Amino acid sequence: MPGHLKKFEQLVIFSLIGLLSIVVFLSTIELAWILLRNVLSPPVFLLDIAELLDLFGFFLLILIGLELIESTRAYLQGGIVHTEIVLAVAIIAVARKVIILETQDLQGIKLIGIGFIILGLAAAYFLVKRARCEK
């Protein structure tokens, strides 16, 4: 029975990698289309701040997709979840949220909370990298 479960797990992981690849590819095409449309609309070659923030958010979303593919691939190869990759995905996700965040709409306590999340992720990433270098 464990052999069948392992094959099923590999089938699911390959399916996830394939589906994520399709999503990242289509998202990249969508990003290119949005960029082209925004650049060619009057005033030509000028983007306002809202358009730039949307583009950066979309770009980071694609980067998160790529990191998820990498994380899934690493799990497929080694059978373990790599903490460093998961933390990198989390840091990118929080960075995306911070970039597209409208700070004037938030209370101070929420901004402090986001700051602590960033500090916690950065500290965890630092400690994981440091532990890996000491081995």
pLDDT at 125 over 90: yes
pLDDT digits (tens, 9 = 90+) for 6-39: 889 889 999 999 999 999 999 999 999 999 998 8
Distance CA 5, CA 27 (A): 32
DSSP letters, 85-113, are HHHHHHHHHHHHHHHH--GGGS-HHHHHH
Confidence of residue 124 (pLDDT cuts 50, 70, 90): very high
Total count of residues recorded for the chain:
135
Higher pLDDT, 23 or 41: 23
Give me the pLDDT at residue 127, please.
93
| Domain definitions of the chain by residue range | 2-134
pLDDT tens-place string over residues 49-101 = 888 888 988 998 999 899 889 888 888 887 777 788 889 889 988 888 888 88
Per-residue b or e along 5-33, where b marks 16 or more CB atoms closer than 10 Å to that residue's CB: eeeeeeeeeeebbeebeeebeebeeebee
Q: Which amino acid is at 42?
A: P
Whether a cis peptide bond, with omega within 30° of 0, leads into 43 is yes
Answer yes or no: pTM beyond 0.95: no
Predicted confidence at residue 71, as pLDDT, reads 86
What does the alpha-carbon distance between residue 104 and residue 2 come to, in Å, rounded to a whole number? 54
